[in-house]
């Protein structure tokens, strides 16, 4: 019902506009074309300056309204560089934006038709044209210079002490793998993947290095102030690991592993307090369209202290052990509990070990 009502209102509005438009055309003819054009010209010239003023107020207002809702402080050292670059770019582009838009609308208003004015025949001027070729070129050189400096810092090799985690996208979720105590990932092959047999990544059990690999879903853990290197994979289509708080993003491409690294600066707990949001989490969003569940493809990174990380990892059962437990109930769990016990004995040493991974 309300749809028809809305439709009727729309139609009515249409008809009224149309009648006014038609009437004004007749009035225009009565007034004479010249006079009518001059009047239209004055109205639109005035609206040009109104648009400029309201537009600039709107830009300012919009900025006031939203500046608290965007960005915030970057939670990674790399993100700080990206923010720095953003501010440099906003400054330069902002100046250009203001100058050009003001000139555009001001000229439109100022040089609107007048019977007295003769337009100025000004086909070209080499000096002016050289100026506005060179000045933008210099401004862009500055931007390229800063941009590439940060770009190479961010995309360069990860530091030696970075913790390495493998992250694999699938429709529609994330799987994480830690290399276990040997610090090395075991081999895997996609044809061995079997969700039913609890081998989400297709680890090859005949490779002993895979036996201590820890595989978890949904939530991963990282250590604050320690570089985190992600090796990014996909099981099916292209996904993208995007973590807005860290300002980081990298595609997950099936068949071609990619990497990115960054250093988290705050633990999740610290962020909960500083953001005033008790539900705060570092969310991994999929940023490359991957099918019907794209918008729900969420992962969580818990950034914790080194001690908390060691405790968390000690509780994890390697994928191999989980699988073997189903087959041979005795061997696996005991082994893993022993490992955990050993680890808790000397946390400081283990933090260093964790770092090497």
Partner 1 sequence: MSTDLTIHGPGELIETHDVHNADHEVHHHKDTFITKYVFSQDHKMICKQFLITGMIWAILGGLMSVLFRLQLGYPDSTFPILEDILGKWAKGGKLSPEGYYALVTMHGTVLVFFVLTGGLSGTFANFLIPLQIGARDMASPFLNMLSYWFFFSASVVILTSLFIETGPASGGWTSYPPLSALGDASLGSKAGMDYWITGMALFVVSSLLGGLNYITTILNMRTKGMSMTRLPLTIWALFFTAVLGVLSFPVLLSGLILLLFDRHAGTSFYLSDIFIASTQKALPNEGGSPILFQHLFWFLGHPEVYIIILPAMGLVSEVMAINSRKPIFGYMAMIGSLFAITVLAFLVWAHHMFVTGLNPFLGSVFVLLTLLIAVPSAIKVFNWLTTLWRGNIRFTPAMLFAIAFVSTFISGGLTGVFLGNSTLDIHLHDTLFIIAHFHIVMGVSAFLGMFCGVYHWFPKMYGRYMNNTMSYIHFWVTFAGAYLIFWPMHYEGLAGMPRRYMDYSGWTSFNQFGDLNRFISTVAMIVFAVQLMFVFNFFYSIFKGRKVTTQNPWQANTLEWTTPIRPGHGNWPGEIPEVHRWAYDYGKDGKDFILQTEPLGADEQHH
Q: Between residue 4 and residue 43, which ones bind partner 1 under the rule CB under 8 A? A: 10, 14, 17-18, 20-22, 24-25, 28-29, 37, 40-41
Contacting residue, 62, 204, 341, 342, with partner 1 by CB under 8 A: 62
Do strands 163-170 and 228-234 pair parallel, antiparallel, or not at all (unpaired)? parallel
| Radius of gyration, alpha carbons of the chain | 31
Rounded CA separation 49/46 (Å): 5
Backbone φ/ψ region at 285: left (φ over 0), alpha (ψ -120 to 50), beta = beta
Candidates 205-213, 274-282, 311-319, 342-350 — which segment interacts with partner 1 by CB under 8 A? 274-282
Task: Report if residue 242 touches partner 1, rule: CB under 8 A.
Answer: yes
Q: Report angle CA 22, 24, 26 to the nearest 5 degrees.
A: 75
Position 329 contacts partner 1 (CB under 8 A)? no
Instruction: Produce one character per residue of 300-324: b if its CB has 16 or more CB atoms within 10 Å, e if not.
Output: ebbbbbbebbbbebbebbbbbbbbb
Q: Residue 214 and residue 79: Cα distance in Å, rounded? A: 28
**By CB under 8 A, is residue 56 in contact with partner 1?**
no
CA dihedral 123, 125, 131, 132 (to 10 degrees): 10
* 3-state secondary structure (DSSP) of residue 262: strand
Closest separation between CB of residue 338 and partner 1, Å? 34
Q: How far is the CB of 181 from partner 1 (least distance, A)?
A: 27
16 or 334: CB nearest partner 1: 16
Tell me: does residue 295 bind partner 1 (CB under 8 A).
yes
- Assess 298 for contact with partner 1 (CB under 8 A): yes
Least spacing, CB of residue 277 vs partner 1, in Å: 7
Q: Closest distance between partner 1 and the C-beta of residue 180, in Å?
A: 23
Tell me: does residue 319 bind partner 1 (CB under 8 A).
no
- Pairing of β 219-223 and β 298-304: parallel
**Size of residue set near partner 1 by CB under 8 A:** 124
Residues 153-212 that bind partner 1 (CB under 8 A): 154-156, 170-171, 190-191, 193-196, 202
Stretch that binds partner 1, among 206-214, 254-262, 305-313, 329-337 (CB under 8 A): 254-262
Smallest gap from residue 83 Cβ to partner 1 (A): 8
Query: Among 56, 184, 238, 340, which residue sits at the site for partner 1 (rule: CB under 8 A)?
Result: 238
Tokens for 50, please give them: 């109104």
């Amino acid at each position: 019902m309300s749809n028809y009502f809305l439709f009727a209102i729309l139609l009515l509005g249409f008809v009224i506009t149309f009648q006014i438009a038609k009437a004004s055309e007749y009035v225009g003819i009565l007034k004479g074309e010249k006079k009518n054009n001059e009047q239209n010209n004055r109205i639109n010239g005035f609206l040009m300056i109104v648009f400029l003023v309201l537009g600039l107020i709107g830009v300012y207002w919009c900025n006031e309204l939203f500046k608290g809702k965007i960005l915030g402080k970057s939670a990674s050292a790399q993100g700080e560089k990206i923010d720095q670059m953003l501010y440099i770019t906003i400054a330069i582009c902002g100046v250009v934006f203001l100058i050009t838009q003001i000139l555009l609308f001001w000229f439109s208003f100022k040089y609107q038709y007048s019977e007295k004015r003769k337009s100025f025949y000004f086909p070209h001027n080499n000096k002016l044209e050289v100026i506005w070729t060179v000045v933008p070129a210099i401004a862009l050189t500055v931007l390229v210079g800063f941009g590439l400096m940060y770009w190479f810092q961010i995309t360069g090799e990860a530091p030696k002490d970075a913790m390495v985690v493998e992250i694999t996208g699938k429709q529609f979720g994330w799987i994480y793998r830690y290399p276990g105590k040997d610090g090395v990932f075991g081999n895997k092959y996609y044809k061995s993947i079997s969700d039913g047999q609890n081998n989400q990544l297709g680890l090859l059990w005949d490779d002993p290095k895979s036996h201590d690999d820890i595989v978890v879903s949904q939530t991963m853990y990282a250590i604050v102030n320690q570089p985190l290197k992600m090796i990014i994979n996909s099981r099916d289509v292209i996904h993208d690991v995007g973590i807005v708080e860290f300002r980081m993003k990298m595609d997950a491409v099936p068949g071609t592993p990619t990497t990115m690294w960054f250093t988290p600066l705050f633990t999740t707990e610290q962020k909960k307090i500083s953001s005033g949001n008790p539900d705060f989490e570092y969310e991994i969003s999929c940023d490359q369209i991957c099918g019907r569940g794209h918008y729900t493809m969420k992962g969580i990174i818990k950034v914790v202290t080194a001690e908390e990380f060691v405790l968390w990892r000690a509780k994890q059962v390697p994928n191999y052990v989980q699988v073997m437990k189903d087959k041979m109930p005795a061997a696996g769990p005991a082994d893993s509990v022993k490992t955990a016990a050993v680890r808790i004995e000397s946390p400081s040493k283990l933090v260093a070990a964790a770092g090497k991974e």
